[in-house]
Chains A and B, each alone.
Chain A
Amino acid sequence: MDNIIEIRDLSFSYKDPEGKLHPALHNINLDFERGTYTAILGHNGSGKSTLAKLINMVVTADDGVIEGSIKVLGKEVTTAISDDDAYEIQCRIGMVHQNPDDQIVATTVEEDVAFGPENLGMDPKLIREKVTQTLAAVGMEGHEKSAPHRLSGGQKQRIAIAGVLAMDPECIIFDESTAMLDPQGRDAVMKTIDELHSRGDVTIITITHYMNEATDADRVVVLNRGEVFMDGTPEEIFTQVEKLHSVSLDVPQVTELFYGLQKAGKYNGKLPLHTNEGAEELAKLLKAER
């Protein structure tokens, strides 16, 4: 199988300035297959962001103690890696961060989207094409000359996605990219992610603590206290309501509702994950009641 990222027996501890170690990840084994969409779930402090930062070498052996291995695009990134290899990986694995304001570099939207391709030394004509293409892909065409600070959070985040897309990455990691957005902004960003996934050529990894955002993924990985707690399809994961509750994680609201109905003996079908499925089931139930 063609794995874009392979993680073997990975443990990581942060080192604080006094040299004390703070374990963040423990014995992680994960493979990310090319073209798939994986959601990594977990509480704050479960190690999910650390994992993403290790993959993209924002966190390195300088920040703590790494054991085990991470292979990105076939290259080991945990040990000494040449600057050029590191640079290549960073260009091919894009990352969208949490705060939209902290990833916008330029004073106009088009200049910002062009920042990555400019760094790659692309031809200006090609950059222009990329800017037009990627802004259309995130639904932000017509904002080329806008000033980023006048856009909403969701719009800024989509500009950031366009900026990453413009570099033609093979994989995009969304590190809690919706955490600072309002519901509309969150919906717009999730829709963009779904569209990217349906194109099928990029591998997508989202890191989130919103359960609703994980239901559209091909695969859900639940991290708890630095360990892989669960790993499977959204159906496999979210139907194990009790197991998730035991580490005080929620399931999507609609699943929670049907879980309640199930416990009360009113429902015995498959637990729905999406609101519209839930609505249909509910309509059926109500009809049967009558």
Chain B
Amino acid sequence: MIRDITLGQYFPGNSPIHRIDPRMKLLMAIIMIVATFVASSGTSFALLFIATLILFLLSRISVKTLMKGMKPIVFILIFTTFFQIFFTRTGDLLFEWRFIKIYTNGIIFAIKMFIRVIVLITSTSVLLSYTTSPIALTDGLEQMLKPLAKIGVPVHDFALIMSIALRFIPTLLEETEKIMSAQKARGTDFSTGSLMKRARALLAVFVPLLASAIRHAIDLADAMICRGYRGGSGRTKLNVMKLKFTDFLWLFAAAAVLAGTILCNPFTLDVIKGAFIK
């Protein structure tokens, strides 16, 4: 059933990572992104890799799930690794066959690139998309951007728009399904014919869907007014986000990883290099 789809890739759970405050997770994700771009030496990549592995293991997300999430980037990953290996012309020559020449630096760059992408994707998705519900993320963003409201940025409105959009995705999906069946029953063919023909068939779904979305919007607005909504000022929240001591520990840990990465940058992993040199 279409209504059973999960929003985003969130996996409900109660792991230590799930319990971190969404605001801290956002900050941690930013720190991890910075760290992956700052890292340049073998040791710093090793550190990042280990940190990400720990995050991943603590989140209790299955490897299968993570792999599924990686699917879209597999191609880019293979492509860049390939280019790094075959087109880097520095370092010592390792292998030569006709025009193919593989140098040590090519291998090293490729491994670094690979780890950089894996760490980037894994750390952000484990921290955000897999363990934080969209609504918690929206709330977290609203809280973090609150200071901007003072200079006239409508932070509350954006957050409300986001959460209502999230709320209505399943409703509108269900409606799409209904309209499509209704149109099918009247002979609309969505699956065969030229692209133009199929696009035109979909128009018969989008127009009623848009009309019903507008109707929903008007009714919802009435219902909201009836329930005393008049903008963000003076509103309180049922669930007040409170930072716990452990949240600060997590932020500290992420900052430590960044610091460690920077400190490790001057040191290369000569072990690996040494193993390859004849």
Contact = CB atoms under 8 A, between A and B. Distances in A.
Interface in B160-197: 163-164, 166-167, 170-171, 174
Contacts of B134: 107
A97 B222 contact: yes
B240 A164 contact: no
B226 interface: yes
Nearest to A59: B222
A115 B232 CA distance: 12
A283 interface: no
B174 to A, nearest CB: 8
- What secondary structure prevails in chain A residues at the interface with B? helix
A167 B3 contact: no
Interface in A72-106: 87, 90-91, 94-95, 97, 99, 101-106
A71 B166 CA distance: 39
Contacts of A87: 228, 230
A26 interface: no
Contacts of B225: 58, 90
A132 B16 CA distance: 27
B219 A99 contact: yes
A103 B237 contact: no
B204 interface: no
Given A56-B226, A58-B225, A104-B167, A118 B219 contact: no
A177 to B, nearest CB: 12
A121 B135 contact: no
From B167, B171, B227, B240, name the one whose CB has the most chain A CB atoms within 10 angstroms. Answer: B227
B238 A118 contact: yes
Nearest to A86: B225
A149 B171 contact: yes
A102 B222 CA distance: 9
A2 interface: no
B169 to A, nearest CB: 9
Interface of B: 3, 134-135, 163-164, 166-167, 170-171, 174, 216, 219-220, 222-230, 234-240
13 contacts: A99-B219, A102-B216, A103-B223, A105-B164, A105-B220, A106-B135, A110-B238, A111-B135, A115-B224, A115-B229, A121-B234, A124-B240, A147-B170
